[in-house]
Amino acid sequence: MRKFVSSAGVCLALAIVCVLLTQPTRVGAQNLLPPSCDRQCLYGFLDQYLNALKAKDPSRLPLARNFRYSENNVAMKFPDGVWGTVTGMGDYTLRTADPANGAVGCYGIVQETNATSIFALRLKVVDSKITEAETLIRRAGGDSGPFPSKPTLASNPVFEEIVPPEERSPRERMIALADGYFSTLQLNDGALFTQFYDDCDRWENGLLTTHNPDLAKTIPVANLGCAQQFKLGNYRYDDRVRDRRFFLVDEERGLIMTAGFIDHAGRLGNYTLTDGTPVKSSMRTPNSLCLLELFKIRGGKIQKIEAVFIGVPYNMPSPWVEYPTN
C-alpha cells in the first residue's frame, strides 16, 4: 500500500510539472524566462538587418525557416518591396528592445532613388534566428497632407534615456497606458483613459503635431499638447482603433512599441469640440490608417510619442493577426 501511494505521488508530481511547463507564458508575467539574447544581442540582429537592407543582400541574415515578412501591411515574399529599391539609409535610428520577448524595433529614414521616407521596423528573434520582420514605410506622393515630403529623424534624448528604477512602470502597466491611449483616441469625446505629461509631444510621420505654432496656422489644435487635444474631443471622427498589438515592452527605457489600425467610417460631418467650437470632420470617406507607434512612459505617464502610419483600404486586415473564421 505504501509503495502504491508513493508511486502515485511521484506520478502526480510529474504530471503537475508537465502541465506547468506546457502552459503558455503571458508576456509581462513575472515568470518570464531569462532572455537568451539581451539588449545588445538584439541590437546586433537589428544592425545585421539594416546593413543587409542597405547592401540589398539578404544572404547576410540568419533567417528562420518559417521567416515571415510584411511591408506596409502586406505579407510578401522575401526579399521584395524596399529590398529591391533602397538606395540609402539615414545616419540615425531610434531603437528599442525587449529581451524578455525577443523583440527589437527602430524608427529611421530610408532612401529609394529620389524618395526619402520615414519608416518603422520590428523584428522577432527566436533561438538566434530572425523569425519575423514587419516594416511600415511612409512614402510621400499624391496628397501628402501636412507631412514633410523629405522627413528627417534626429536624436531625441528623452526617447534614449534610461528611466530611473523608481520611475519605471511594470510591463502590464505600460501596456495598459498605451492601450488607454488608443481607447482615448477611439470615438474621442474628451474623456482620457490614460495619463500624460503636461508637455507631452507627438511626432507623426516625421512631423511634430503638438506644440507646433507653424502647423497650428492650418490645424489649430496642433498648438496644444497631447492631453489638451484629446480633452477637446478633436478626433471624434476616429470610429475605431482595432487589432491593437503590444509586442515590445522596454521597461529600462520606458518604451513600448505598438501596432494597430484607426478606422474612419467617414459618416461624421460637422461636430462640436468640448469647448463649444464647431468643426468639420476631415475624414469624409471610408479609410483606415495602419500604424507602428512608440510611447515613452515615465512615472506612470506618457511623455513622448513617435508614430509612423500609412493609409490603407477601409477595414483592411493585418497579416499579423489571427481572425475568427466564422
One digit per residue, pLDDT tens: the chain, 326 residues? 434 344 444 343 434 333 333 333 333 334 455 678 999 999 999 999 999 999 999 999 999 999 999 999 999 999 999 999 999 999 999 999 999 999 999 999 999 998 999 999 999 999 999 999 999 999 987 666 799 999 999 999 999 999 999 999 999 999 999 999 999 999 999 999 999 999 999 999 999 999 999 999 999 999 999 999 999 999 999 999 999 999 999 999 999 999 999 999 999 999 999 999 999 999 999 999 999 999 999 999 999 999 999 999 999 999 999 999 87
Q: Are 56 and 84 in contact (CB under 8 A)?
A: yes
DSSP string of 2-58? HHHHHHHHHHHHHHHHHHHHHSPPPTT-TTPPPPSS-HHHHHHHHHHHHHHHHHT-G
**pTM of the model as a whole:** 0.89
Q: Are 236 and 268 in contact (CB under 8 A)?
A: yes
HSE, CB side, 13 Å, CA atoms: give it for residue 64. 16
What are the angstrom distances between the C-alpha of 217 and each of 198, 199, 214, 298? 22, 20, 6, 31
Q: Are 231 and 190 in contact (CB under 8 A)?
A: yes
The CATH architecture annotation of domain 162-312 reads: Roll (3.10)
Give me the pLDDT at residue 117, please.
97
Give me the pLDDT at residue 30, please.
42
The CATH classification of domain 39-138, taken from the options 3.10.450.50, 3.30.413.10, 3.40.50.300, 3.30.70.20 = 3.10.450.50
Give me the pLDDT at residue 33, please.
54
CATH 3.10.450.50 residue spans of the chain: 39-138, 162-312
